[in-house]
């Protein structure tokens, strides 16, 4: 927990107030977030293609499917909406949730869902499997459930941001309000909630997806939130820990100063040892002379 506390402290020292501040603080993590969040559900997404689109708004030598390309491009649009919403101090509302969902899923709904009348930015019409034992709420239950959830996360202090974010995310995924894109939308909302509560966002790494799904399942089946809180804490440390640890490394002058102090201490110990040895010899000589 010490590393997690250091990460939160360092983030809050940045005093992030504008979209420009936030973009600077996120730096390459925006690409990492988009890549891993997409990769969790679409294994065709690559870091190279994600990086190309975020940096150049295009890809070279792309051989993948069109849906994957749209998903990557959409993740950039969703990131830009996140920055814009932060700049405007927008709270999380139904409207903002639907706007995020539109950016995440536009041009990607499959024929089956589209023919059923499902659309990006609109709550689901049908029921869709979400986990081992859950299918989400029934469509007619979704609007009220979302409103209740939004009421619960109002007036949360920064001190309780991660716990509230875990609750918000688990509940949102359990409701499963849309026909598709709930995971990507939920992870984006999770980070927006954290950012707006002066807490560092996090990457949920695709290689950790099994632990992630297990933590969500613990909430679905047992209403146990601690596994998700612990998991998100570890992902915060994994996301920002290397940078914090690098910042905490001593400078060259500090290293030289420490080595000089260690050398002087060793030299003093050696001199003391020599004095002790000399005194012992003198004492032995005195004893022999007395005899």
pLDDT digits (tens), the chain, 291 positions: 799 999 999 999 999 999 999 999 998 899 999 999 999 999 999 999 999 999 999 998 888 899 999 999 999 999 999 999 999 999 999 999 999 999 999 999 999 999 999 999 999 999 776 556 566 899 999 999 999 999 999 999 999 999 999 999 999 999 999 999 999 999 999 999 999 999 999 999 999 999 999 999 999 999 999 999 999 999 999 999 987 766 555 555 655 666 777 777 777 887 777 777 776 666 665 555 555
Token representation of residue 229:
């809180």
* CA 212 vs CA 177, 233, 244: distances in Å: 19, 12, 24
SS3 for 7?
Answer: helix
Q: Long-range contact list for 132-137, CB < 8 A, 24+ apart?
A: 132/217, 132/221, 133/217, 133/220, 133/221, 134/174, 134/176, 134/220, 135/176, 136/174, 136/175, 136/176, 136/177, 136/182, 137/174, 137/175, 137/176, 137/177
Q: pTM for the whole thing? A: 0.84
Q: How far is CA 229 from the centre of its chain?
A: 12
* CA 72 vs CA 69, 198, 207, 256, 267: distances in Å: 5, 27, 18, 47, 61
Q: Are 119 and 109 in contact (CB under 8 A)?
A: yes
* CA 28 vs CA 31, 141, 177, 183, 231: distances in Å: 6, 39, 30, 22, 22
Residue bearing tokens 């709904």: 109
Per-residue confidence (pLDDT) for residue 243, from 0 to 100: 78
- The alpha helices in the chain, defined as continuous H runs, are 2-13, 19-26, 29-39, 47-56, 66-87, 94-105, 111-115, 142-152, 161-175, 182-195, 209-222, 226-247, 252-290
Burial track 265-275 (b if 16+ CB lie within 10 A, e otherwise): eeeeeeeeeee
Closest C-alpha to 68, from 91, 89, 41? 41
Token representation of residue 128:
């869709």
């Amino acid at each position: 927990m010490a590393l997690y506390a250091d990460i939160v402290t360092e983030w809050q020292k940045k005093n992030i107030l504008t979209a420009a501040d936030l973009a600077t603080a996120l730096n390459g993590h925006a690409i990492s977030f988009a890549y891993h969040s997409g990769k969790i559900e679409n294994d065709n997404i690559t870091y190279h293609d994600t990086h190309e689109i975020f940096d150049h708004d295009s890809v070279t030598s792309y051989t993948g499917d069109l849906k994957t390309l749209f998903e990557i491009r959409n993740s950039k649009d969703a990131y830009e909406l996140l920055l814009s919403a932060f700049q405007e101090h927008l709270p999380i509302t139904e409207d903002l949730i639907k706007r995020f969902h539109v950016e995440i899923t536009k041009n990607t709904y499959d024929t089956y869902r589209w023919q059923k009348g499902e659309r990006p930015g609109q709550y689901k019409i049908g029921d869709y499997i979400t986990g081992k034992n859950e299918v989400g709420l029934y469509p007619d239950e979704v609007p009220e459930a979302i409103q209740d959830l939004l009421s619960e996360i109002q007036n949360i202090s920064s001190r309780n941001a991660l716990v509230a974010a875990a609750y918000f995310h688990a509940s949102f995924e359990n409701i499963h309000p849309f026909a598709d894109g709930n995971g990507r939308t939920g992870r984006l909302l999770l980070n927006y909630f954290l950012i707006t509560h002066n807490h560092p966002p996090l990457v949920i790494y695709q290689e950790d997806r099994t632990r992630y799904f297990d933590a969500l399942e613990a909430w679905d089946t047992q209403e146990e939130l601690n596994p998700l809180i612990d998991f998100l804490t570890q992902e915060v440390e994994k996301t920002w820990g290397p940078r914090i640890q690098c910042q905490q490394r001593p400078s060259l002058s500090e290293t030289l100063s420490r080595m000089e102090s260690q050398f002087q201490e060793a030299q003093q110990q050696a001199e003391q040892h020599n004095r002790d040895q000399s005194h012992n010899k003198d004492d032995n000589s005195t004893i022999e002379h007395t005899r």
